[in-house]
């Protein structure tokens, strides 16, 4: 009988260690996951010297159980050119219809605002960090925006705040 109790304790402790390790991995991955790698950066900005450092990230559960994230990057040595970003199907590895834009000066046009309204409104209302996205940023003529829309499956929105060299990246995967 004593043998069985030791075996049950050993099994429970092992299971507990596995569960705690898994949770710790998920937390670590969430805190340090950077969705923009070198390949993506080269598609966004034309110069090779550009560097991005993630300074803020937040997960959101939006209306209707929509899940999306916002990432804020400090950008160094960026230049904005009208023929960038150069999005390709390599960005997402999908073969579906993709609607993209090049860098456009703010204010955001009404069609784009309508497409991303739910995510932008939610982020403006519920992110209380010092890197908060604001409505003023969306109309500031010194800022730029771009987006990727993948047939109602995925949505990506970029806002480059040139005054502070911040890149706001909203990503929604359905």
Quickly list DSSP for 14-76: HHHHHHHHHHHHHHHHHHH--S--HHHHHHH-S-TT-EEEEEEEEEEE-GGG-EEEEEEEEEE
Q: What are phi and psi of 105, to 5 degrees?
A: -75, 140
Residues 12-64: tens digit of each pLDDT = 889 889 998 888 776 666 566 667 777 777 878 887 788 888 888 877 665 55
**Count: domains in the chain:** 2
- Are 67 and 5 part of one and the same domain? no
- Are 93 and 15 part of one and the same domain? no
Domain that holds residue 22: 1-33
Buried b (16+ CB within 10 A) or exposed e, 127-155: beeebbbeeebbebeebbbbbbbbeeebb
- Are 85 and 124 part of one and the same domain? yes
Block residue for tokens 């996205």: 133
Residues 55-100: tens digit of each pLDDT = 888 776 655 556 778 889 999 888 888 888 877 666 666 667 778 8
Q: What's the pTM value of the predicted model, to 2 decimals?
A: 0.77
Residues 117-127: tens digit of each pLDDT = 888 887 888 76
- Are 27 and 62 part of one and the same domain? no
DSSP-derived secondary structure letter, 108: P
- Are 128 and 141 part of one and the same domain? yes
Cβ-contact 24, 15 below 8 angstroms: no
């Amino acid at each position: 009988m004593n043998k069985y109790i030791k075996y049950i304790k050993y099994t429970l402790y092992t299971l507990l260690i596995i569960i705690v390790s898994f949770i710790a991995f998920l937390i670590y991955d969430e805190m340090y996951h950077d969705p923009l790698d070198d390949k993506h950066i080269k598609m966004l900005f034309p110069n090779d010297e550009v560097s991005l450092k993630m300074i803020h990230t937040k997960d959101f559960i939006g209306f209707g159980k929509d899940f999306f994230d916002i990432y804020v990057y400090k950008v160094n040595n960026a230049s904005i050119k009208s023929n960038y970003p150069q999005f390709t199907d390599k960005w997402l590895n999908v073969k579906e219809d993709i609607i993209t834009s090049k860098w456009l000066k703010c204010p955001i046009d009404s069609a784009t605002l309508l497409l991303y309204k739910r995510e932008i409104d939610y982020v403006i209302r519920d992110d209380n960090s010092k890197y908060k996205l604001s409505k003023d940023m969306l109309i500031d003529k010194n800022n730029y925006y771009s987006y990727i829309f993948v047939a109602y499956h995925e949505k990506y929105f970029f806002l480059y705040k040139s005054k502070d060299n911040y890149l706001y990246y909203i990503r929604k995967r359905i």
